A and B are shown apart, each in its own frame.
Chain A
Amino acid sequence: DTGVSQDPRHKITKRGQNVTFRCDPISEHNRLYWYRQTLGQGPEFLTYFQNEAQLEKSRLLSDRFSAERPKGSFSTLEIQRTEQGDSAMYLCASSPDYYNEQFFGPGTRLTVL
């Protein structure tokens, strides 16, 4: 088991461009979470999948953001028409059902110029 992996680790983009991040959870973990972390803040919940079903979305997730987990394994988070305020660390976590612990990946740092 190699843990939760995220790709890319760093992304620099220009305002207005679209970006897509990938998260590979620990195998057989049903649940997958996306968080955003800005400087000086703790992780803020964005969205959550149980297998392939997206069960909850935060109000932080504007209509420019979309997340998918098509086969209940890896997930992608896409941001369309990026803005400078989207600059942050995007964290992915996974867990088995009812385990009371989330396992985090190393994050993808997004910088929007």
Chain B
Amino acid sequence: AQSVTQLDSQVPVFEEAPVELRCNYSSSVSVYLFWYVQYPNQGLQLLLKYLSGSTLVESINGFEAEFNKSQTSFHLRKPSVHISDTAEYFCAVSPEGRDDKIIFGKGTRLHILP
């Protein structure tokens, strides 16, 4: 079985400051890793995913995440946040090859302070 731990339920950060949202996972098999984002009053949308290959993956809006197998982590980072990044971020995992079975973390709410 797989599980996901998001250590921070809320992260406040000033606009234009860097941010890191932490995610650790547990699994006895190889995994795919995802970050989904939920903007206020909108549905969940995929931000980025790691399936294989380069351990550093990037999104189109400046976020990146690095898969660290030894530390079983997939932390999400952005060097400079914008007010529009205010959202809840969910880390998720699925067994490799089982994209139908996604396990989500509890989410981290990102508050951007002016």
Query: Are A4 and B43 in contact (CB-based, < 8 A)?
Result: yes
Which A residues are in CB contact (< 8 Å) with B44?
Answer: 43, 91, 93, 104
Q: Is B101 an interface residue (CB 8 A)?
A: yes
Tell whether A43 pairs with B99 under 8 Å between CB atoms, given A104-B43, A106-B43. Answer: no
What is the total of A-B residue contacts with beta carbons within 8 Å?
A: 54
Q: Contact residue range for chain A?
A: 20 to 34
Chain A residue, CB-CB nearest to B102: A102
Whether B51 is near chain A, meaning CB under 8 Å from some CB there, is yes
- Asked if A42 meets B105 with Cβ closer than 8 Å, knowing A99-B99, A100-B32, the reply is yes
Interface residue A101 (Cβ < 8 Å from any Cβ of B):
yes
Residues of A within 8 A of B104 (CB): 42-44
Q: Mark A26-43, 1 if CB is under 8 A from B, else 0.
A: 000001010000001111
A104 to B46, CA, bound (A): 9
Given contacts A42-B90, A45-B103, A48-B100, contact A100 B43 (CB under 8 A): no
Task: List CB contacts (< 8 Å) of B73-89 with chain A.
Answer: none
Determine which residue in A93, A98, A100, A103 has the highest number of CB atoms from chain B within 10 A of its CB, and name it. Answer: A100
Smallest CB separation, B37 vs chain A (Å): 11
1/0 per residue B1-18: CB within 8 Å of A? 000100001000000000
Known: A104-B43, A106-B42. 7 other contacts (CB 8 A): A40-B9, A42-B104, A48-B100, A91-B43, A100-B32, A100-B51, A101-B46
Q: Which chain A residues have a beta carbon within 8 Å of chain B's beta carbons?
A: 3-4, 31, 33, 40-45, 48, 55-56, 91, 93, 95, 98-107
A-B contact pairs, 29 of them (CB 8 A): A4-B43, A40-B106, A42-B4, A43-B90, A43-B104, A45-B101, A45-B102, A45-B103, A48-B100, A55-B100, A91-B43, A98-B99, A99-B99, A100-B32, A100-B51, A100-B99, A101-B34, A101-B46, A101-B49, A101-B99, A102-B46, A102-B99, A102-B102, A104-B36, A104-B43, A104-B45, A106-B41, A106-B42, A106-B43
